[in-house]
Structure 1
Amino acid sequence: MKWIDSSDIKNWANKRDAQDLLPLLIRKLIHASVDVESIDIPAGSSVSTGGWDGIVKTNGQHAYVPSGDSVWEFGVDQQAIKKAESDYVKRVKDPLTETPADTHYVFASPRAFTKNRTWAKDKSQDNVWKTVRAYNASDLEAWLNICPSVSKWFSAQIGLHSADKVESLEIWWDEWSSVTKPVTSTELLLNDRQETLESFKDLIAQSRFMFSIESDSLDESIAFIYCAANSLEQTLRDNFLSKAIIIRSKADYDSIVNNSDNCIIIPVFPEFEGGRYALDKGHSLIVPVGQSKSFKGSSITLERLSKSAFTKALETMGLIHQKAWQIAADTKRSLTVFRRINTDGKLIKPYWSSADVKLLVPMLLIGTFDSNNESDKQMASMLFDADYDEIDKFLQNLSLGEDPFVRKIRGVWELISFRDAWYFLSNEIDDAVKERYRKCFLTVYSDENTRFLKELEERYLVPTNEQYEFSVYMRRSLKNTFALLALESDNQSDNQSYVDSLLGEILNESTTWNLWASLRDELSIFAEAAPASYLCGISYLVTQKEKVSELYRSSSNALFGGHSLTGILWGLENIVWSEDYGEKAVILIAKLALLDPEPKSNYVNRPINSLKEIFKYWHPQGNFSSDTRIELIEQIHSLNNELGWNIIDSALPYRGGGTASGISKPMWREFREIEKVTYGDINCFANNLYKKAIELINSSRSIIIMLKRGDKINDDNFDLLGAVHIYFNHMITATNVTIAS
C-alpha cells in the first residue's frame, strides 16, 4: 500500500522540523527492516551533538540496510549533492572511531538528489569504505512502502491522512490514551500484571509468532500490546513499535501481507480467520479478542485489575488517592467504563443505552450467539421473548456508529464489551428475564457432549462442531454472565442465592459423569460464581465411585478421552483461594486423590499434584495461615495415612530448594492478597510441621521421610528417636518383646 510519495517527502524537506525528524524516520525504518544489534541515531534536540549522524550494527541483510557495521549521514539541504560531498570528505579525513574498510557508508536526503547513484558509485571506487550508498526522496518512498507502520507514523507526522483502515500502533496509542483526562498511563494496563507481561515477552522472543490477547474489549487488548511493547528494553521496543500495524479491513490486510516486509500485524476485522499465510510470508500476528471469542493457539488473558492496583494506576496519572479509589469503585475497574468519564468527572452514557431495555438486557445476558446455529437462534428468541427476525433487526441497528453495542462476525453476534454493557444495564434485569435466563442456562448446560456417548476409542471421531447442540460462543458467554450475576450486581445477596440455586439444578447427586465431563470448560467459572453449590456437587460426586472412575478412565488418553477431570480440579483450585470455602475444597481434592487409580501418572494434572502445590509454604497458594495448613495436613492424614505422608514429604523443605507450579486462580472473584513469606516464616512452618509429623509417625515409610527431612529442621528439641522407639514398641507389643531404651 502507498500512503506517501516522493513529492510528499520533498515538500516536507522544506519544513523546519525536517532536520530533527529525518534521523528519527531513518531510525524507525532501520528497526522495521532488520534485527538491530546496536543503533545510535540521535534525533530531535540531540541532532547537533557532533560525531556521526548514525552508527548501526545489524545481523540481517536488507535492500536498504547494509549487513554488519554502517555509518550514516543525513542532510535536508536543497543542494543535496553538495551536502553529501562535504560530509563524505569530512568523514574520509576523520572517521572517528570507525574502521572504513570494514564499514558501510550511507548518506540519506529527502531531496530529489537525482545523481545519488552516480555519486555513490564514484565514491565506492575510492575503496575507502566497504560500500557507499546514497538515498534520495524516491528511495525513501520505496522504503516506506514496504514498512507500513513507519509509513503511517510518518504520514501523521507530516499531516497526511488516508481513508484506509490501517493505523500505526504508536499513533493509535497517542490518540487513544489522550481521550481521558488525565491522559491514560501505561500503568493502567500493566499494573499488577507482571506474570502476564513476562508471558508476552516470551511469546514475542520467537523469530515469528502468532498469539491472541483476550480482554473485556478489543481496545483494551490493543492498548496492552502497546504498553507491553513500550516496557521492553529500548532496542527491542523500537524494533517492535516500528513493525506493529493495526489493520481493520481484509482488503488492507491482504495488501500488507503480500506487499510489505516483516510486519507485526494486529488484525481487527470480522473476516479474520487465521494467520498461517501471513506467517509464511514472514510476518508475525497478535490477535485481539473479546471475552466471548476463542482463539486456536497461544493466548494471553488480561485479568481485571484489583481495586488497589487500579487505584494505584490512577494515582500515577495524577489523581489523589480518595478520588482514584472512588473511580475504581464506580467504574468497577472497567477500562471501557473509565474512558466514558468526561473532563468534569461525569459519566457519559453510550447512545445505545437509550434503546429498548427489554431487548438490550437479554443481549446482555446471552452475550454471544451464532446465527448460523438454529439451536442458538431458538434460545435467543426464548431469552429475548421475541421473533428472531425482530432480534436481528434490532441488533443490526445497534452495530452501527462509532460506539456500537454489538458486532456481527461471520454470523456470530457478540457484545463489544461485557463490562461496559453490564455497568449500564445490570440494574434493569428483572425477575421475568431472570426466569427466562434460568431456562436458557439449564437447557444449554444440560447438553452432554456427544463424544462421551461413544466408546472410548471412538470419541476422537466426533467432529468438534458436532459435539454440542449449542455453539461454543453461547456456552462461553453464558458462563461469564453467570459470574457477573453473582459478583457484579448491586443486589448481590439475592443474585448469589439465585446462581447458587441455578448451579444446584445442574450439579447434584443425579448429575451423570458424562455431564461432569461435558462441563469441563465451564466448571472453573461455575466454582467462582457459586462455590457453595459447586462444593455440594463435588461432595455428591466423591461418594459415587463409578462416576469418578469413568472420569479418570476418560482422562487417561488425550486421543480417545481428553482431560475430563481437569475442569473439576480447576474449579476446586479456584475455591482454595476463598477464605470461606478453601478448607473444604482442599479436603475434597484429597478425597478425589484417594479415588485416583493412577496417582503417580504424569499424564494431565492429578489431585495429588494440586495438594502438593497448595502445601508448599515457601510458595504459598490458597488463603490459609501456617497453623491452618498443618491442621489440614492432619485431616488429610486422618483420611488416609499414605496420602497424608505424601503431603508431608512434599511440604517439608528439600536440601537445595525445589520447584513449584501455580494452581488455578479465580478470574472474577477477588481474594485476599497473600502476604509474602520470609525465610523465618518458612523455617517456623517447617519446624511446626516436623513436630506435628513426629506425632503422626505410624509406618516405616514415615520414619524414612522424617530422617530424610530432619537435616533441614532448625530445632534440637524434637525427639525423633523417642518417637521411633514408641512406634516400634507399639508395633511389637503383641509379641511381648521390648526394645531397650
Structure 2
Amino acid sequence: MYGLIRVEHLNAWAGRYTTPAEFPRLIRLLLWALLRTPRAINFPADEAVRSAGYDGQLEIATTEAILPEGLSVWELGTNVRIKAKADEDYEKRTKDSLGVDQANTTFVFATPRAWPGKAAWAEARNEEKVWRRVLAFDAEDLVQWMELSPAVAVWFGRVAGIMPTGVRDLKGALEDYRLATQPEFDPAGTLIGRQPQVEVLLRTLTSEPTAIELEAANREEAEAFVGACISTLPQDQQDQQWARSLCVDDSDALRQVAAAGEQLLLIVGEWASPLPANARKHTTVRVVAPGKGTAAAIVLADPNMRQLIDWVEKQGVDLNEAFKRCYDAAGSLERVRRSYLRAGPPPPAWAQPEVAASVAAAVLVGSWNSSNRADQGFVARVSGVDYTLFEAAIGSWTLGADPLMTRAGDDWRVHNRLDVWGRLEPFLRTGQLDEFVRATAEVMLEPDPRFDIPPSDRWLANMHGKRRVHSEALRSGIADSLLYLATKSDDRQPCYSGVRAQDWSERCIRAVFERRREPHFWRRIRGNLTQLGEASPEPFLSALEQDLRELTCPLLAVPT
C-alpha cells in the first residue's frame, strides 16, 4: 500500500486531541508488524497513558528494523514543540531512569510530526554517553514503517479518516459487523458451536504461511469469525495478529498488498483464484460459499438451535421474537443478524431482473412438498413451466445469508417471505395470478380423509394412507399468499392489471365460500380459517351468518 499514508496525514492527525491516547497503539501495532520475535512490547494506550513510567518499552533478541537488540525505553510526544518535549523527557529519564540500566538500554523519542532536526538531536545526546544509544523517530520513519506494514497503514487510515480502496483492516471490519445491527450483535456469536473450526483456524494463524478456504454464509460472517477467533488470544498475541490482518476486496489491492511485507493474514473472496505468486509469503483465507470449498476447507456449520436462540436473546432480543427469527432463518445466525440490519442489505442476486422473472412464482406459492405430485402440478401451473425446470431455477438460491428458499428434506419454503414478496412482486405476471386464482379453490376445498376414520385413530391417519392429495405445506402457503395479496401488496404493480391486489385475493376467497353448500365445507377449510377470514372478512362473515341462521347449522358439525 505504497503512498496510502503520507507525512502530511500524520502531521494533521498529530493535532487532534485524541492523538496522545492513540499514538502508543500505532507504535505498538507497527512494532508487532515489523518485528518477528520480540520478547516484549508494552505501549499502554487510551486511559492508560496517564500511568506513571515510560510511554513504552521494547525488548528484542536481535537487531531488527534499525532497532537495536536488548531493552529500549520510549517516550512519545505529539505537540508542536518537538525538541522541547524531547529534551524534557530525555533529561527527566536521564536524571531518574526508574531502575533501568542506562548503559545497556536504548532511549527512544518518537513523534508523529515531521522533525527535520531529529538526527542532530540524537547525535548530540549520544555524545553524552549516558545511554547505550539514543534514537529519534518522526513522521518520515512512521510512513516508511507503514509501507512495510499494510495492515497497520489501513488501520491508521480508518483512524485518521483516510479511506483506502480495496482493503479494510480486520479490526475495523469486526467493529462494522457489531454496529451494523440494532440491537448490536457481538461478533463472538460466530463462534457458537464451532470450537473445532476455531482450533483449526488458530493453528493456521500461528503456523507458517499457507492458503486455506473458509465456507461461510457471506464475507461478513467469515471476517467476524476470524476476528472473533483472534479476540480469544492473549492480548499480546491479539496485537500481533491485528497488526498483520487485512480484508482484501479486489484483485488489484491483493497484488499490491501481497507485494508489501511478509506473513500477513489476508482474507479474500471467492474471486481470488488463482492467488498471485507472492501471496505465498502470507497466510490467505479464501472465503467461499457453502458447499463450494474443497475437502480441506473450514466449514462454518449452523449452531445448535437452542444455543442460537439463547445467544440472540442475550443480544437484547425478546425470547419469543428470538425463537421465531431463529426458526424462520432455519438456524442460521447470519440470516437472523441480517434481519436486524440498521440499513437494509443490498438486493440479493436472485432479486436481479435477469433472475427474478424466472423464480417470482415461488413467492406466490409460498411452500410445498417436492415429492408430492399434486404439489408439483400446482407449482407448474402457477409458474407456467415444467416443475423440474422451475425447481432447477430456484435450487441455486437455497444457501448463503440471503436465500430465496429454504429446504428441509422435500419441504420447500420461501425464506423471509415478507421481504421476498416486496422484491419479487414486480416480476409476477398476470397469467400467474389467473392460474393461482383458478387453482386455489380446488386445493383449499379438498376433502380431508382423516375424518373418515374414528377420532381415536386419527393420529394414525398417515399410516393408514388417509391424507389429502395436496400437502399441508402447500395449503398453508396458499392461505398465506391470500393474506399477503390482501394486506402487503402494491396495487401499482403491472401483474394486477389495474385491479386492486386485495380484489384478487377476494376473488379467490369468494370462489371458496361460494361452495359452502358442498358436504363438509367447514371441515375442509378448518385449518386455514384464520388466514381466509383476515384476508377477506366479508365473504367469511357472510357465509358464517347464513349458516348460523339455518335450522341445522353445518358449522356445528365441524370437529374441534
Taking structure 1 as the reference length, what is the TM-score of the superposition?
0.48
Query: Corresponding residue for 2:246?
Result: 245
Query: Corresponding residue for 1:307?
Result: 305
Alpha-carbon shift at residue 7 of structure 1 (Å): 0.6
Q: What does 1:22-41 correspond to in 2, within 5 Å?
A: 22-34=23-35, 35-41=37-43
Q: What does 1:418-567 correspond to in 2, within 5 Å?
A: 418=400, 420-423=402-405, 426-427=412-413, 491=473
* Separation of aligned partners in 1, 2:261 and 2:398: 31
Please tell me the residue identity of whatever aligns with 2:337: R
Equivalent residue for 2:75, pick from 66, 73, 76: 73
Instruction: Give structure 1 stretches of 5+ with no counterpart.
Output: 364-380, 392-404, 407-413, 430-488, 493-741
User: C-alpha offsets along residues 270-304 of structure 1, whole Å, 9 cap, x if unaligned?
Assistant: 1431366322xx322222222232248x5321111
Counterpart secondary structure, 1:253: helix
Query: Corresponding residue for 2:180?
Result: 179
User: C-alpha offsets along residues 548-583 of structure 1, whole Å, 9 cap, x if unaligned?
Assistant: xxxxxxxxxxxxxxxxxxxxxxxxxxxxxxxxxxxx
Q: Is the 8 A contact 1:215 1:289 kept in 2?
A: yes
* Separation of aligned partners in 2, 1:145 and 1:323: 48
Counterpart secondary structure, 2:402: helix
Alpha-carbon shift at residue 421 of structure 1 (Å): 1.4
Counterpart secondary structure, 1:56: strand
User: C-alpha offsets along residues 44-94 of structure 1, whole Å, 9 cap, x if unaligned?
Assistant: 121121100001223564325444322111001212111112111111221
Q: What does 1:356-375 correspond to in 2, within 5 Å?
A: 357=356, 359-360=358-359
Say if 1:335 and 1:118 are closer, same or farther in 2 by CA, change over 3 A: same
* Separation of aligned partners in 2, 1:416 and 1:105: 61
Alpha-carbon shift at residue 239 of structure 1 (Å): 0.6
Say if 1:27 and 1:385 are closer, same or farther in 2 by CA, change over 3 A: same
Query: Corresponding residue for 2:159?
Result: 157
Instruction: Give structure 2 stretches of 5+ with no counterpart.
Output: 363-384, 416-470, 475-560
Query: Corresponding residue for 1:208?
Result: 209
Say if 1:295 and 1:383 are closer, same or farther in 2 by CA, change over 3 A: farther
**1:228 partnered with 2:224:** no
Alpha-carbon shift at residue 268 of structure 1 (Å): 2.1
Alpha-carbon shift at residue 245 of structure 1 (Å): 0.5
Q: Is the 8 A contact 2:213 2:293 kept in 1?
A: no
Query: Corresponding residue for 2:134?
Result: 132
Say if 1:265 and 1:182 are closer, same or farther in 2 by CA, change over 3 A: same
**1:142 partnered with 2:141:** no
Equivalent residue for 2:329, pick from 324, 331, 338: 331
Alpha-carbon shift at residue 339 of structure 1 (Å): 3.2
Q: Is the 8 A contact 1:29 1:242 kept in 2?
A: yes
* Separation of aligned partners in 1, 2:345 and 2:34: 44
* Separation of aligned partners in 1, 2:94 and 2:74: 13
Counterpart secondary structure, 1:167: strand
Count of equivalent residues: 392
* Separation of aligned partners in 2, 1:147 and 1:90: 33
User: C-alpha offsets along residues 70-123 of structure 1, whole Å, 9 cap, x if unaligned?
Assistant: 211100121211111211111122111322233222211012211112222332
* Separation of aligned partners in 1, 2:297 and 2:400: 19
Query: Corresponding residue for 2:198?
Result: 197
Q: Is the 8 A contact 1:38 1:58 kept in 2?
A: yes
Counterpart secondary structure, 1:133: strand
Q: Is the 8 A contact 2:180 2:341 kept in 1?
A: no
Alpha-carbon shift at residue 174 of structure 1 (Å): 1.1
Please tell me the residue identity of whatever aligns with 1:99: D
Higher RCO (CA-CA < 8 Å; seq separation 6+): 2
Q: Is the 8 A contact 1:170 1:241 kept in 2?
A: yes
Please tell me the residue identity of whatever aligns with 2:138: N
User: C-alpha offsets along residues 499-541 of structure 1, whole Å, 9 cap, x if unaligned?
Assistant: xxxxxxxxxxxxxxxxxxxxxxxxxxxxxxxxxxxxxxxxxxx
Say if 1:415 and 1:232 are closer, same or farther in 2 by CA, change over 3 A: farther
Q: Is the 8 A contact 1:304 1:334 kept in 2?
A: yes
* Separation of aligned partners in 2, 1:346 and 1:215: 20
Counterpart secondary structure, 2:220: helix
User: C-alpha offsets along residues 470-517 of structure 1, whole Å, 9 cap, x if unaligned?
Assistant: xxxxxxxxxxxxxxxxxxx9949xxxxxxxxxxxxxxxxxxxxxxxxx
Please tell me the residue identity of whatever aligns with 1:272: S
Q: Is the 8 A contact 1:32 1:147 kept in 2?
A: yes
Query: Corresponding residue for 2:110?
Result: 108
Taking structure 2 as the reference length, what is the TM-score of the superposition?
0.63
* Separation of aligned partners in 1, 2:304 and 2:349: 29
* Separation of aligned partners in 2, 1:114 and 1:384: 75
* Separation of aligned partners in 1, 2:84 and 2:140: 18
Counterpart secondary structure, 1:198: helix
* Separation of aligned partners in 1, 2:167 and 2:345: 30
Alpha-carbon shift at residue 20 of structure 1 (Å): 1.2
* Separation of aligned partners in 1, 2:195 and 2:57: 34
Query: Corresponding residue for 1:641?
Result: none
Alpha-carbon shift at residue 165 of structure 1 (Å): 0.7
Say if 1:360 and 1:223 are closer, same or farther in 2 by CA, change over 3 A: farther
Q: What does 1:338-353 correspond to in 2, within 5 Å?
A: 338-342=336-340, 350=348, 352-353=350-351
Say if 1:343 and 1:171 are closer, same or farther in 2 by CA, change over 3 A: closer
Alpha-carbon shift at residue 416 of structure 1 (Å): 9.9
Q: Is the 8 A contact 1:168 1:245 kept in 2?
A: yes
Counterpart secondary structure, 1:112: coil
Equivalent residue for 2:98, pick from 91, 96, 105: 96
Please tell me the residue identity of whatever aligns with 1:331: A
User: C-alpha offsets along residues 696-734 of structure 1, whole Å, 9 cap, x if unaligned?
Assistant: xxxxxxxxxxxxxxxxxxxxxxxxxxxxxxxxxxxxxxx
Q: Is the 8 A contact 2:270 2:287 kept in 1?
A: no
Which is worse superposed, 63-72 or 308-317? 63-72
Say if 1:347 and 1:490 are closer, same or farther in 2 by CA, change over 3 A: farther
Q: Is the 8 A contact 1:210 1:275 kept in 2?
A: no
Counterpart secondary structure, 1:19: helix
Alpha-carbon shift at residue 158 of structure 1 (Å): 1.6
Counterpart secondary structure, 1:420: coil
* Separation of aligned partners in 1, 2:256 and 2:342: 43
* Separation of aligned partners in 2, 1:201 and 1:210: 14
Say if 1:362 and 1:335 are closer, same or farther in 2 by CA, change over 3 A: farther
User: C-alpha offsets along residues 666-717 of structure 1, whole Å, 9 cap, x if unaligned?
Assistant: xxxxxxxxxxxxxxxxxxxxxxxxxxxxxxxxxxxxxxxxxxxxxxxxxxxx
* Separation of aligned partners in 2, 1:117 and 1:261: 29
Alpha-carbon shift at residue 38 of structure 1 (Å): 2.4
Say if 1:344 and 1:137 are closer, same or farther in 2 by CA, change over 3 A: closer
Say if 1:284 and 1:59 are closer, same or farther in 2 by CA, change over 3 A: farther
- Determine what percentage of the aligned residue pairs are the same residue: 23
Query: Corresponding residue for 2:317?
Result: 319
Say if 1:37 and 1:309 are closer, same or farther in 2 by CA, change over 3 A: farther
User: C-alpha offsets along residues 237-269 of structure 1, whole Å, 9 cap, x if unaligned?
Assistant: 111011100111111111111133432111226
Please tell me the residue identity of whatever aligns with 1:337: R
Please tell me the residue identity of whatever aligns with 2:47: S
Please tell me the residue identity of whatever aligns with 2:60: T
Alpha-carbon shift at residue 217 of structure 1 (Å): 2.4
* Separation of aligned partners in 2, 1:78 and 1:108: 13
